Amino acid sequence: MPGNMLSKGEVFVVDTDATSREQLSRALQQNAYDVICFADSASLLSEAKARMPACVLLEMPQDRSALEVLKRLREENCMAPVLVTSANGSIAMAVDAIKSGATDFIEKPFRTHDIVGRIDAAIDESAQPDLSRQRWLSGCEPLTTRESDVLAHLAAGLTNKEVARRMHLSARTVEGYRASILKKAGARNVTDLLRRIFGQGSPAQI
């Protein structure tokens, strides 16, 4: 990190590829982050018990073991935003990652400056006060704050890609949030969901 810049916090980077770790570390340090790199998730979990990072960048291997890491981090009360990266990404994998606590899901290959922007956005959002969850469809599982934000954008007529740009997320991440929202509502698609929300006796808060 440049000597004349105040640290924006520590970022834990887990990636099995040494070159990727080096590139990410350099880019993050140039943007005022302190970086601790790990070649495996076991080392990450051990370090997370002793210190709280500002953000975690976690690689998802083909065996999806990162899902268990996500759950373990939450169990250890590590509430830092976690961005999952994968060279074998799919919508199903993105949905599973989000359900397990990921903030974003990013497919490889990626540009390091894009990652820095995603990390900035995730940290900024996590620093915002956690307002009470918006009420929506009675009897349905409540939405998370992020899901509520995604739904508000969808209700405004934005496409997945437009929502992704507005929220500084990947399109697959938005797809994952949308799938989670539809599942909670028991809706077939977004049109069906919005019809049910706005067809209620009073306008829903989203």
Distance CA 173, CA 196 (A): 24
Prediction pTM value: 0.66
Q: Is the pLDDT of residue 111 over 50?
A: yes
Q: Is the pLDDT of residue 134 over 90?
A: no
Q: What pLDDT, in 10s, does the model give residues 180-204?
A: 999 999 988 888 887 777 665 433 4
The fold of the 145-198 domain, in CATH, is Arc Repressor Mutant, subunit A (1.10.10)
Instruction: Give the chain's end-to-end CA distance (angstroms, integer).
Output: 40
Q: What pLDDT, in 10s, does the model give residues 31-59?
A: 999 999 999 888 899 888 888 899 999 99
Q: Are 119 and 11 a contacting pair, CB within 8 Å?
A: yes
Q: Are 167 and 160 a contacting pair, CB within 8 Å?
A: no
Angle subtended by helix axes 91-99 and 65-75, to nearest 10: 20
Residue 186's identity, in one-letter code, is G
Residue 143 has which token pair?
A: 């939405």
* Domain residue spans of the chain: 10-126, 145-198
User: Does 88 or 54 have the greater pLDDT score?
Assistant: 54
Distance CA 73, CA 118 (A): 20
Residue 110's pLDDT is what? 87
Residue range 10-126 forms a domain whose CATH class is alpha beta
Residue 113's pLDDT is what? 87
3-state secondary structure of 85: strand
